[in-house]
Amino acid sequence: MSGTHDQSTLNGGAWDPLAAAQRFNRRAVLRGGGVGLGALALGALQRDARAGAPQAPGAQQLADAALGPHFAPKAKRVVYLFQSGAPSQFETWDPKPGLVDHFGVELPASVRMGQRLTTMTSGQTSFPVAPSKFGATARGANGTLVGDLLPYTGALVDRMCVVRSMVTDAINHDPAITFAQTGSQLAGRPSMGAWLSYGLGSMNRDLPTFVVMVSSSSSKQPLYDRLWGSGFLPTQHQGVKLRSAADPVLYLADAPGIDRGRRRQMLDDLARLNALQPDADPETTTRIEQYELAFRMQAAVPELTDVSGEPAHVLERYGADVQRPGSFARNCLLARRLLERDVRFVQLYHMGWDHHGNLPNDLTKCALDTDQAAAALVQDLEERGLLEDTIVVWGGEFGRTVYSQGQLTQETYGRDHHPRCYSIWLAGGGLKAGLVHGETDDFSYNVVRDPVSTHDLHATLLHLSGFGHQRLTNRFQGRDFRLTDVHGEVVRALLS
Amino acid sequence: MVFGLMYALALAQAPAGDPIDFDRDVLPILSDHCVQCHGPDAAARKADLRLDVRDDVLFVAEPGAAADSALYQRISHADPARRMPPADFPRQLTPAKIEALRRWIDEGVAWESHWAFTAPTRAAAPVREDDTWSRDALDVLVLGRLAEEGLAPSPPADRATWLRRVTFDLTGLPPDVAALDAYLADDSAEADARVVDRLLASPRRAEHRTREWLDLARYADTNGFQNDFGRDQWPWRDWVLRAFASNLPYDEFIVQQVAGDLLPGAARDALIATGFNRNHRSVTEGGSIDEEWRVEKVADRAETTATAFLGLTLGCARCHDHKFDPLTQRDYYAFYAFFDQVDEQGFYNEARGNVPPLIEVPTPAQEARLAALDASIAAREDELVALAATAPQRFGDWCGESQHPQRLAGEWGRLLLEYAGERREGAPRIELDGDAAHHVNLGQGVSFEQDVPFTVSMWLRPDSNGAVYSRMDDTDRYRGTDLILLGDMRPAVHLIHEWTANAIKVVGVDPLDKGRWQHVAVTYDGSRKASGVKLYVDCVERAVKVEVDTLDGTLATEEPLRIGLRRYAGALAGALHDFRVDALALDVDELLNLARRRPRAEAAALCLTRYFAGSENPEPAELERLAAGALPFFTPFDQATLDARSALADLRRERERLAREGIATVMVMRDRAEPRETRLLDRGQYDRPKGEPLQPDVPAALGGLTADAPRNRLGLARWLVDPANPLVARVAANRVWASFFGAGLVTTPEDFGVRGARPTHRAVLDHLAVSLVDSGWDLQALERRIALSATYRQSSHAAPALRERDPENHLLARGPRHRLDAETVRDQALFAAGLLVERIGGPSVKPYQPAGLWEELAGGAGQGPYVQSAGDDLYRRSLYTYRKRTVPHPTLTTFDAPGFELCVARRARTNTPLQALALWNDPTYAEAARHLAARMWAAPRSAGAGEGVDADDTRLAFGARVVLSRELRAEELRVLRASLDAYRASFGADPAAAAAHLGIGASAGQAAPDGATPTEWAAYSAVAATLLNLDEALTER
């Protein structure tokens, strides 16, 4: 068939991913989609269609259209638990118990070194140190210090890599989240999930390749569709948002008065009429395939989101919140179900971590909303044998300041944005377990060992997925773009 | 094989025997494989060798002797360590490319400039004697190329197909049945031209062309970024509509958008046109850094201008010299300098709506009303001036009437308010605990105005930062006034009409002391100037820093006067007493009196004696001298002045109300009075300017500006439209071509640089570019000739062999075929349904959208939930659909509309399951199908059939004519009839389903078509939906 990689014409048979990317790009952009051409005779489809059990090999087609990895991947799937708003590292993964002795003391200028602040606190003349109000306990074999607000995920440190030395370039939410998800502070680039869809294609014949779910605790910073957009990649690579509303995927439910039989009737009619076209072309075939995929999604998505068959002990593991559609816990459970069905990239967002003031109360709530379910997801994946080739990532867009924003009292405090260090954890396929990577100074203000940039994290995730981050490119407006822009190094220390 | 072949066409090597063509065969190889390290980027250059400059190349390439040339030796070296490109370079040379370079050297190292950087010429096109096909010079060129390839053009499309194609391409809508019938009945030689001329003159064409331009202009109805508040740029969009409708010459189209504000005597329309460069996103997220985001706006303007008009990827030179094109980083910032002069801030803290510079865009009726108000305001202002001149006279009279200074003393000072707080146990003070719920609300009794003096004073013991007092509406652009203590305890005073465009802000240099009692006073003299605001602490005037000084508008707000709170400034902890407001700008002496809490009478006496000391019966000259000093004290007593002021305030309020509630504004370009120095930014970073200031200029490789050209946007605009500019006309002609063929002759319309695609037909492109300029930049003339060309008229059917050979139709051996654009898909459905409401222009509208999409992401930030439009606005053309950047309308996105974030020159055309779901289940389409069914039901019997044809046949045939612009074939009719019967049976057995299916959309109550049962209507609706979902219906062919 014509849609497979055709290498011989240009370079005598050597596998040239870049040329393939360019061919793919031209084909996808100019031709209308990365779906293989002419693969399927209309007749075959019609036979299936008439039987009412269409077997169009849509997934295979999508996979064929992808570039394929550069080398054997360690992980086939990724689930990214994005904690939007930026969790404080002090109360979570980078506790600094010694700060208790510095309560209210001015942050030494030698630590701050005049680095830029947001204009919310740049007017502040006093920067009193605010120790975490909460305890921290040594967990796991290595005695990794974890904030006591995270008892469930804290119990799993032996299965994780905790990275305490993340740094980012951005200081406000919009550019920082956009950076974390697309590798650029300015919108317009493809998101990580879109890159993986573009590079790896689908493993699933009736669900999207890249699925997004959103939840929140109280106050929230907004999110944007573009965070899971495909940028300049074809839109088929954009994330599909799975909503807690009646229609989990937009327009999934058939219009009033249309049942499955009537929808089937329409698809069969379309297939018959398209087949009568004297000048049908491959694009016509592709459209029929996409219609059939949509028809299958209409069955597959409700089956996916129906958790009534989950055993009680599994539901309990995710916590009571799992009963509430749209909660982080429910989304974690759905993430597991998606990954089981070989959806390539599952992106969760939990909003509510932006604690400029009243941090002790609000952060406790966020932790309660997310800790148990995140741990349950890891355990569930492990028990099902999926963790070995699935990557789980937990983290936000930057860290928080050691000093209090606004008034510091014994009871309460707030923390401003802090790009110079923050903590995340990863677990699963190809990653070392029980590792703490990187270190910050006593004030968790600057990284003192093994800094990891956002680009480095992206490079590492691509590496685990089988890609050289410098080679997964797409040409747009005359330039070959990468997820990692012109930066990034694989963090070898994290690899098992 | 298909794609390899296609690629071969694009990049391809010359067939053995043909001479090597430098631009086609060699330059792309050098660009892709060599110049990243041996090219224009000085910083990245290795071995000090450039392979983008012929003199350098000749060092390593001996003409006629490849084997002896270092270039060839290195690329073909047996030792991988010596071979170029290096092994770790991601793009390695293929044997075919090495061979091409060898031949190029052996054939003499031919060299020419990049094709797009030399001016186009109109190619001589020899017409072949046997050419009966060509209808236009462009056809001759296309035919010549086909002959070279050994191909013949495809036969013409049938007439109905051509009509549907040309109607979509010119108007974004299909032909209606009447137009189809009229055209098919017109067998005159002018029939085609008549159609094209009719379509060119249609307002629908202006709408369609506008829709295309909006992609490049990154037009949207919100600011983007975190808050993504709404804005009103639609007056600019309406300018584009007018420009296309009046066939504004393309050079004017450019000049007005780039520099309309700098044209001598610029009319309002030319100012509105400059909104093009304000369509970019803007940041309002609190805490942002101003310069960082100002730089982004300037960069966006520069890069958008380069892409939209020049087809240049200038953005690649922002952080370093361009890797492939002759654009240096210095060129970038010189170009950027044109756009760096705007009188603006980088970010507008939490500002909603349009931000300056902006202009009002009133309707004619509003304009008349405004003119009347402005005249009345001017008259009142004159009156006040006159009253000031005669004030000494009235002052004298007033003094004469006042028998006793003591009586005056009771009135002086115009004490407006005195508030000591609840008198608790001997403590006449207001205690504030820093809790917002416990502030003191003093109601609306005291108002503050931009042109009325006042003094607010108090004893204050602050224990925290926060608001001392405020009368301000934080949710209405912070209108009002306040005194707040910043985080570092520095006092700040605001007088705001609209933050920050129209406001005063002064900040005390020194902080107040926490925990200490201080006497604090703010005085204002009504001058609308920051210099008229004084800050006293302990009766000593304090140094202040003026941060904003742009006030010219009322301070009036409905918010009460509050002590200890302003909504977004936080609550104050502390205590105060003797809070008072006076209608005068008090001076130090009076403040001292207040601070010392002297009895008011005593203070008044002191004051008055200062002016009347020893002057029981002053001489006129003496009186005048005294009066000059005392007038400020007199003004509040002067009834004539008070009356005039009050009338003026009423007029201003009315004008304000009109402007706020009725008159749209649009953001435009306006340069600062003081030029801003532009410097190169190291690595593109806002906080790393370096080097000497740069003059605005165009890239050196494109010639630079002439010495006499103004160094501003007008100079830039004139350079763009200079016929000698090699790029602008080509880029425009290419875009017009793409409007018809679905892809440009240069398939990378955003990149005419070295790495962009080569034109498939350079002669055609150049011919059209030159004639565009020669025609006086007449876009319609260009569209007309393409639409009427033989090339465009060809059938789009591709036999397998041809498709195999040329899948992308680069050779133009057939007509265009591609899926309809996002907007066209929806507009066609509304049009076929008879639902489309064709009202031109105005604010954007909100058609159906699933509930909750905005709230899920924005959490109510920005604008709260999406409020669907009602009535006609549900059915407007998709051009008018509200464009929210962070949450674009889902079906537009699904069909590949861009996100409106950045300039986009080319859309993808994908084919995904989400498109299927939207077409099935978005109420837009289900409702449209029901209306189309009603039209089909009522189809006239005569439609293509004689007696004896049954009603179903007639109706189905009509539906096909509406949606496909053609007759049904017998076999198709059989399928549709069978389908109709199946739906009849299905809905007949399930009346509830039929009723539900007929209840979709806002028009659900519409009357059933005559004689149609619900079952019939639902069955027809289902069949109509099938028609609208046909691949043929969604494809231009």
Residues B454-496 have pLDDT tens digits of: 999 988 889 999 999 999 998 888 999 999 999 889 999 999 9
Contacts of B808 in chain A (CB under 8 A): 26, 30-31
Q: Across residues B604-620, what is the average pLDDT? A: 51
Angstrom distance (rounded) from CA B279 to CA B900: 9
- Minimum distance, in Å, between the CA of residue B772 and any CA atom of chain A: 25
E strand spans, B906-967: none
Q: Across residues B1017-1024, what is the average pLDDT? A: 98
**What pLDDT band is residue A44 in, cutting at 50, 70 and 90?**
very low
Contacts of A20 in chain B (CB under 8 A): none
Residue-wise pLDDT for A225-260, tens only, equals 778 888 888 777 888 888 887 789 999 999 999 999
Angstrom distance (rounded) from CA B838 to CA B202: 12
In A, residues 102-161, which contact B (CB 8 Å cutoff)? 116, 118-121, 123-126
Residue-wise pLDDT for B893-910, tens only, equals 889 898 888 898 988 788
Instruction: Please answer yes or no on whether A35 and B911 come within 8 Å at the CB atom.
Output: yes
In B, residues 739-758, which contact A (CB 8 Å cutoff)? 743, 747-748, 750-751, 753, 755-756
> Which range is least confidently modeled, A294-308, B68-82, B396-410, B966-980?
B396-410
Question: If you search the block for the tokens 């049908």, which residue do you land on?
Answer: A280
Contacts of B1000 in chain A (CB under 8 A): 255-257
Angstrom distance (rounded) from CA B915 to CA A235: 11
**What pLDDT band is residue B10 in, cutting at 50, 70 and 90?**
very low
Question: If you search the block for the tokens 């009504």, which residue do you land on?
Answer: B526
**What pLDDT band is residue B631 in, cutting at 50, 70 and 90?**
low
Contact by Cβ (8 Å): A189, A216: no
Amino acid B59: pLDDT: 84
> Which range is least confidently modeled, A54-63, B60-69, B207-216, B330-339?
A54-63
Q: Across residues A428-442, what is the average pLDDT? A: 94
- Minimum distance, in Å, between the CA of residue A11 and any CA atom of chain B: 5
Cross-chain CB nearest to B996 (options A257, A261, A270)? A257
Closest CA to B467 of B439, B488, B448: B439
Q: A411: which DSSP letter?
A: S
- CA-nearest residue of chain A to B4? A9
Q: Across residues A88-103, what is the average pLDDT? A: 94
Amino acid B594: pLDDT: 72
Amino acid B8: pLDDT: 32
- Check pLDDT > 80 for residue B514: yes
In A, residues 68-97, which contact B (CB 8 Å cutoff)? none
**What pLDDT band is residue B917 in, cutting at 50, 70 and 90?**
very high
- Minimum distance, in Å, between the CA of residue B466 and any CA atom of chain A: 10
Amino acid A378: pLDDT: 97
Longest CA span, chain A: 83
Q: Find all residues with CB under 8 Å of A440, minimum gap 6, and list them.
A: A89, A94, A164, A165, A421, A446, A447, A448
In B, residues 862-891, which contact A (CB 8 Å cutoff)? 862, 885-888, 890-891
Element holding B547 (H helix, E strand): strand B544-549
Residue-wise pLDDT for B37-79, tens only, equals 888 888 888 888 888 888 888 888 888 888 888 899 999 898 8
**What pLDDT band is residue B960 in, cutting at 50, 70 and 90?**
very high
Amino acid A26: pLDDT: 32
CB pairs under 8 A between A and B: 325
Q: At what angle do helices B951-964 and B1014-1029 cross, to 10 degrees?
A: 30
B982 in contact with chain A, both atoms CB, cutoff 8 A: yes
Q: B495: which DSSP letter?
A: E
**What pLDDT band is residue B407 in, cutting at 50, 70 and 90?**
very low
Angstrom distance (rounded) from CA B663 to CA B653: 14
B12 in contact with chain A, both atoms CB, cutoff 8 A: no
Amino acid B311: pLDDT: 95
Angstrom distance (rounded) from CA B7 to CA A9: 9
Most confident of A406-415, B728-737, B908-917: B728-737
More confident residue, B452 or B425: B452
Contact by Cβ (8 Å): B474, B580: no
Q: Find all residues with CB under 8 Å of B546, minimum gap 6, and list them.
A: B504, B505, B506, B530, B531
Q: Across residues B517-537, what is the average pLDDT? A: 92
More confident residue, B128 or B303: B303
- Minimum distance, in Å, between the CA of residue A254 and any CA atom of chain B: 6
Instruction: Please answer yes or no on whether A262 and B1022 come within 8 Å at the CB atom.
Output: yes
Look up residue B63 and give its two tokens: 């003409």
Cross-chain CB nearest to A255 (options B307, B997, B1032)? B997
Contacts of B1032 in chain A (CB under 8 A): 274, 277
B684 in contact with chain A, both atoms CB, cutoff 8 A: no
- Minimum distance, in Å, between the CA of residue A226 and any CA atom of chain B: 7
Angstrom distance (rounded) from CA A470 to CA A487: 9
Contacts of B923 in chain A (CB under 8 A): 255
Q: B387: which DSSP letter?
A: H
Q: Find all residues with CB under 8 Å of B499, minimum gap 6, and list them.
A: B348, B349, B351, B477, B478
Amino acid B401: pLDDT: 58
Amino acid B558: pLDDT: 85
Q: Compute chain A's Rg from CA coordinates.
A: 24
Closest CA to A485 of B315, B85, B336, B302: B315
What letter represents residue B966's amino acid? R
- Whether the link from the prior residue into B455 is cis, omega within 30° of 0, is no
- Minimum distance, in Å, between the CA of residue A436 and any CA atom of chain B: 32
A190 in contact with chain B, both atoms CB, cutoff 8 A: no
> What predicted TM-score, i.e. pTM, was given to this entire model?
0.75
**What pLDDT band is residue B733 in, cutting at 50, 70 and 90?**
very high
DSSP bridge partners of B570: B566
Q: Across residues B820-827, what is the average pLDDT? A: 97
Q: Is B496 left (phi over 0), alpha (psi -120 to 50) or beta?
A: beta
Residue B1024 Cα distances to B81, B163, B875, B1004, angstroms? 67, 22, 18, 17
**Residues B82, B85, B88, B91, CA torsion sign:** negative
Query: Which of B25, B283, B920 should we substitute to test contact with A (largest number of A Cβ atoms within 10 Å)?
Result: B920
Question: If you search the block for the tokens 């009322």, which residue do you land on?
Answer: B554
CA end-to-end distance (rounded Å), chain B: 25
Amino acid B320: pLDDT: 85
- CA-nearest residue of chain B to A473? B90
**What pLDDT band is residue B626 in, cutting at 50, 70 and 90?**
low
More confident residue, B858 or A77: A77
Amino acid B642: pLDDT: 72
Q: Where are the alpha helices (DSSP H) in B219-285?
A: 234-245, 250-259, 268-273
- Local structure of B660: helix, strand or coil: helix
Amino acid B32: pLDDT: 83
A358 in contact with chain B, both atoms CB, cutoff 8 A: no
Cross-chain CB nearest to B916 (options A291, A407, A477)? A291
Look up residue B41 and give its two tokens: 């980027």
Contact by Cβ (8 Å): B737, B745: yes
- Check pLDDT > 90 for residue A58: no
More confident residue, A130 or A43: A130
More confident residue, A27 or B686: B686
Q: Across residues A121-138, what is the average pLDDT? A: 86
Amino acid B923: pLDDT: 96
- Check pLDDT > 90 for residue B725: yes
Contact by Cβ (8 Å): A186, B903: no
Q: Across residues B605-609, what is the average pLDDT? A: 48
Instruction: Please answer yes or no on whether B899 and A26 come within 8 Å at the CB atom.
Output: no
Cross-chain CB nearest to A18 (options B91, B486, B1030)? B91
Q: Across residues B694-705, what is the average pLDDT? A: 91
B314 in contact with chain A, both atoms CB, cutoff 8 A: no
Q: Across residues A196-203, what is the average pLDDT? A: 87
- Check pLDDT > 70 for residue B425: no
- Minimum distance, in Å, between the CA of residue A3 and any CA atom of chain B: 8
Instruction: Please answer yes or no on whether B971 and A276 come within 8 Å at the CB atom.
Output: yes
Instruction: Please answer yes or no on whether A477 and B313 come within 8 Å at the CB atom.
Output: yes
Task: Please state, as a whole number, how many other Cβ atoms lie within 10 Å of the Cβ of residue B916.
Answer: 26
Instruction: Please answer yes or no on whether B4 and A6 come within 8 Å at the CB atom.
Output: yes
More confident residue, B93 or B273: B273
Q: At what angle do helices A42-51 and A282-305 cross, to 10 degrees?
A: 30
Cross-chain CB nearest to A294 (options B288, B850, B913)? B913
- CA-nearest residue of chain A to B969? A276
Question: If you search the block for the tokens 């050597």, which residue do you land on?
Answer: A14
Most confident of A176-185, B763-772, B900-909: B763-772
Rounded to the nearest 5 degrees, what angle is found at the Cα of B924, between the Cα atoms of B922 and B925?
Answer: 80
Amino acid A62: pLDDT: 37
Q: Where are the alpha helices (DSSP H) in B403-484?
A: 405-411
Closest CA to B208 of B821, B1032, B635, B624: B821
Amino acid A409: pLDDT: 87
Element holding B496 (H helix, E strand): strand B491-498
- Check pLDDT > 80 for residue B171: yes
Q: What is the DSSP string of B502-515?
A: EEEEEEESSPPPTT
Amino acid B518: pLDDT: 84
Contact by Cβ (8 Å): B729, B767: no
Q: Kindly report the average pLDDT of chain A as a whole number.
A: 83
Q: Across residues A279-287, what is the average pLDDT? A: 80
- Report the DSSP pairing between strands A435-437 and A160-167: parallel
Contact by Cβ (8 Å): B585, B455: yes
Q: At what angle do helices B970-988 and A260-275 cross, to 10 degrees?
A: 180
- Minimum distance, in Å, between the CA of residue B775 and any CA atom of chain A: 30
**What pLDDT band is residue B634 in, cutting at 50, 70 and 90?**
low
B359 in contact with chain A, both atoms CB, cutoff 8 A: no
Cross-chain CB nearest to A471 (options B90, B325, B908)? B90
More confident residue, B405 or B211: B211
Q: What is the DSSP string of B73-89?
A: HHHT-SSTTT-SS-TTS
More confident residue, B1018 or B423: B1018
A287 in contact with chain B, both atoms CB, cutoff 8 A: yes
Element holding B984 (H helix, E strand): helix B970-988
> Which range is least confidently modeled, A276-285, A356-365, A450-459, B723-732?
A276-285
In B, residues 45-104, which contact A (CB 8 Å cutoff)? 90-92, 94-96
Closest CA to B821 of B157, B169, B217, B243: B169
Closest CA to B773 of B744, B743, B735, B732: B732
